[in-house]
């Protein structure tokens, strides 16, 4: 199954719908634009495995360009819209990008990129003259290029703990652009996505992120309709499910928290009866949050654990989760190994570094040291997460290894504290980090985004301490609570703890 086939057999079927405006792209229109973009890439000297950057907001063109790259055999490098010009320049240079596709929304950072990369061609959606993307694509033929082959994505890590690293996948063995795709089989066998082409899938997250990009393309391979939210808003998401009769969706726990914080009258306003599968991942979901979502939406939640590296995947449905609360499920793809600091495999119930055993292992682009750090002597690879398996083989995530706080010689995992804090009625979001401390080495600091900043202060701190005390060991209790209107969180749910740690480290140096 492939959009090329759907364009032939179901030409008028909506492939893309923009949730806010209702703008619609049919499979026939997607097919023509993808072919034109493949010709555009060839016309600008990009051949098989050549890279280009895509810096663009969620819009109707994004996935059409993705499918054009998938026909030209090129290496698409999605760029986070959150990045600064120097960070974008780093990714473009590191990937060897031969051009940049962007939009007028990013005019400020694009100017910085032009200064640092004066020889890099830049094409702009909504641009003018030689830089006008629409005109440059429109003059190309709508027929397929002569040398079609599957393209690749090189996704860069979020950079939450340092410089982002490109994850370079191996090239598919089959050069047929319509060859069977492994994720399609996983989508049908795992979450149970339908293969009849009737699926309507809601994507509330940025398309440059690994999960939305992969799932949207999988839906297109299955012939479904992708409904794209320009930007996540909790009530707008509910409205989109009702308006477009959404059957499938993909979320992160932050989305759930935001929707659960809506007033009951708002939550009950929308008809969600069409909704059959709500897939979520990206971070461990706090148990009370998931319990509340199942109580609201029914047992339609399906959680998985995976990474951009594609080395493995677990999956758990609501019924299994209710009997294994907090688990992300058994392995669906790859074999799980939980290992101690010396590489020894640990028994069930013991936390350690999680590895996946798989026949296909990627590399980190231009970074053999990072690749080596992620490898076990047996050839398994880790995503850097800590967790354990139970006697049934169900995996439980504890936290990121890089997020661990060492305070007074004790290992503290902030995810546990964050999961408790976000369930408090007055908390919208929370980040827990280790800040330098002359006595303990690191102290636990909770940075809180209240639902109402007017409530921030000593009174709310006392209330949160009282709330945590019965549920948290004293050594894990934050020594410091700070309040701010926003946290540095990506729209895809990733929290940029590095920014907070760097900020508190700088303050500690100033006070020293």
Q: pLDDT tens digits, residue range 344-369? A: 999 999 999 999 999 888 888 888 98
Mean pLDDT (the chain, rounded): 93
Asked whether residue 227 is domain-assigned, the answer is: no
SS3 of residue 396 by DSSP: strand
Task: Give the structural domain span for 444.
Answer: 404-511
Name the more confident of 214 and 180.
214
**CA nearest neighbour of 496 among 450, 436, 429:** 429
Q: What is the largest CA-CA distance in the chain?
A: 69
Q: Is the confidence at residue 170, as pLDDT, over 90?
A: no
Asked whether residue 189 is domain-assigned, the answer is: no
Read off the CATH number of the domain in which 507 is found: 3.30.300.30
Q: What phi and psi values does residue 304 have, to the nearest 5 degrees?
A: -140, 160
Q: Is the confidence at residue 160, as pLDDT, over 60?
A: no
**CA nearest neighbour of 202 among 230, 167, 172, 165:** 230
Q: How would you list the strands of the sheet with 363-364, edge to edge?
A: 155-156, 166-168, 363-364
Helix axes 107-116, 85-95, angle to 10 degrees: 50
Name the more confident of 259 and 491.
259
Distances (CA, A) of 21 to 170, 270, 368, 413: 38, 19, 45, 42
Q: What phi and psi values does residue 255 have, to the nearest 5 degrees?
A: -60, -45
pLDDT of residue 457: 95
pLDDT of residue 193: 92
pLDDT of residue 159: 54
Length of the chain measured in residues:
512
Q: How many folded domains does the chain comprise?
A: 2
Q: Which of 175, 201, 235 is the last residue of a domain?
A: 175
Average pLDDT over residues 390-403: 92
Task: Please answer whether residues 131 and 123 qualify as being in contact, where contact means their C-beta atoms are separated by less than 8 angstroms.
Answer: yes
Segment 8-30, tens digit of pLDDT: 999 999 999 999 999 999 999 99
Asked whether residue 397 is domain-assigned, the answer is: no
Average pLDDT over residues 77-106: 95
SS3 of residue 176 by DSSP: coil
pLDDT of residue 22: 97
pLDDT of residue 374: 93
Task: Please answer whether residues 239 and 214 qualify as being in contact, where contact means their C-beta atoms are separated by less than 8 angstroms.
Answer: no
Q: Is the confidence at residue 175, as pLDDT, over 90?
A: no
Residue partners of 189: CB distance under 8 A and separation at least 6? 332
Distances (CA, A) of 423 to 258, 288, 358, 453, 464: 11, 7, 37, 17, 11
Q: Is the confidence at residue 298, as pLDDT, over 80?
A: yes
Task: Give residue for tokens 């499918």.
Answer: 67
pLDDT of residue 344: 96
Q: Is the confidence at residue 180, as pLDDT, over 80?
A: no
pLDDT band at 162 (very low <50, low <70, confident <90, very high): low
Name the more confident of 424 and 489.
424
Q: What is the DSSP letter of 459?
A: H
What is the token pair recorded at 293? 């979502």
Asked whether residue 194 is domain-assigned, the answer is: no
Average pLDDT over residues 305-312: 90
Q: What DSSP string runs through 248-283? A: EEEE-HHHHHHHHTS-HHHHTTS--TT--EEEE-SS
Task: Give residue for tokens 């996540």.
Answer: 232
Which contacts qualify for 129-133: CB closer than 8 Å, 24 or more apart?
Answer: 133/101, 133/103
Q: Is the confidence at residue 65, as pLDDT, over 70?
A: yes
pLDDT band at 184 (very low <50, low <70, confident <90, very high): confident
What is the token pair recorded at 289? 């949050």
Q: What is the DSSP letter of 39?
A: H
Read off the CATH number of the domain in which 105 is found: 3.40.50.12780
Asked whether residue 438 is domain-assigned, the answer is: yes
**Calpha distance 443→501 (Å, rounded):** 11
Beta strand segments in 27-125, E: 51-54, 75-78, 100-103, 122-125
pLDDT band at 492 (very low <50, low <70, confident <90, very high): low
SS3 of residue 210 by DSSP: helix
**Calpha distance 246→202 (Å, rounded):** 6
Q: Which of 175, 190, 209 is the last residue of a domain?
A: 175
**CA nearest neighbour of 239 among 277, 199, 266, 206:** 266
Q: What is the DSSP letter of 198?
A: -
Asked whether residue 69 is domain-assigned, the answer is: yes
Asked whether residue 363 is domain-assigned, the answer is: no
SS3 of residue 194 by DSSP: coil
Q: Which of 142, 175, 208 is the last residue of a domain?
A: 175
Asked whether residue 329 is domain-assigned, the answer is: no
- Could you tell me how far CA 95 lies from the centroid of its own chain? 20
């Amino acid at each position: 199954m492939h959009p090329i086939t759907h364009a032939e057999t179901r030409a008028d079927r909506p492939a893309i719908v923009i949730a806010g405006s209702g703008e619609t792209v049919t499979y026939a229109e997607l097919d023509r634009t993808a072919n034109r973009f493949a010709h555009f890439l060839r016309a600008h000297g990009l051949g098989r495995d050549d890279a280009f950057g895509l810096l663009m907001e969620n819009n109707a063109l994004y996935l059409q360009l993705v499918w054009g790259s998938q026909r030209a055999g090129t290496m698409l490098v999605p760029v986070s819209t959150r990045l600064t010009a120097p960070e974008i320049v780093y990714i473009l240079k590191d990937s060897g990008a031969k051009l940049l596709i962007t939009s007028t929304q990013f005019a400020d950072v694009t100017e910085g990129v032009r200064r640092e990369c004066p020889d890099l061609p830049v094409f702009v959606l909504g641009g003018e003259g030689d830089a006008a993307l629409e005109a440059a694509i429109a003059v190309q033929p709508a027929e397929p290029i002569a040398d079609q082959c599957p393209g690749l994505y090189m996704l860069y890590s979020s950079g939450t703990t340092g410089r982002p690293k490109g994850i370079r996948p191996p090239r598919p063995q089959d050069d047929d652009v319509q060859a069977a795709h492994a994720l399609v089989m996983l989508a049908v066998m795992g979450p149970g996505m339908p293969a009849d082409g009737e699926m309507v899938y809601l994507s509330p997250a940025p398309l440059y992120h690994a999960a939305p990009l992969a799932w949207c393309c999988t839906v297109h391979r299955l012939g479904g309709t992708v409904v794209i939210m320009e930007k996540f808003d909790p009530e707008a998401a509910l409205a989109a499910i009702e308006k477009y009769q959404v059957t499938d969706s993909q979320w992160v726990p932050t989305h759930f928290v935001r929707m659960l914080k809506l007033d009951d009258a708002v939550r009950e306003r929308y008809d969600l009866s069409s909704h059959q599968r709500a897939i979520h991942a990206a971070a461990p979901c706090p148990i009370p949050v998931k319990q509340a979502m199942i109580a609201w939406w029914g047992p339609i939640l399906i959680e998985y654990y995976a990474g951009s590296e594609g080395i493995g995947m677990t999956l758990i449905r609501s019924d299994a989760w209710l009997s294994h609360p907090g688990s992300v499920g058994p392995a669906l793809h790859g074999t799980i190994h939980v290992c101690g600091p010396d590489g020894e495999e640990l028994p069930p119930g013991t936390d350690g570094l999680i590895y996946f055993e798989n026949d296909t292992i990627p590399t980190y682009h231009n970074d053999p040291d990072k690749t080596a750090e992620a490898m076990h002597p047996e050839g398994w690879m880790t995503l850097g997460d800590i967790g354990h398996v139970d006697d049934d083989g169900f995996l439980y995530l504890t936290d990121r290894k890089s997020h661990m706080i060492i305070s007074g010689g004790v290992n503290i995992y902030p995810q546990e504290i964050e999961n408790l804090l976000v369930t408090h009625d007055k908390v919208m979001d929370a980040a827990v980090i280790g800040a330098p401390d002359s006595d303990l080495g690191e102290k636990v600091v909770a940075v809180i985004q209240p639902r109402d900043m007017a409530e921030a202060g000593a009174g709310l701190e006392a209330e949160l301490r009282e709330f945590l005390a019965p549920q948290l060991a004293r050594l894990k209790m934050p020594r410091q609570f700070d309040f701010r209107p926003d946290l540095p969180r990506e729209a895809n749910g990733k929290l940029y703890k590095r920014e907070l740690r760097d900020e508190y480290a700088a303050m500690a140096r100033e006070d020293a």
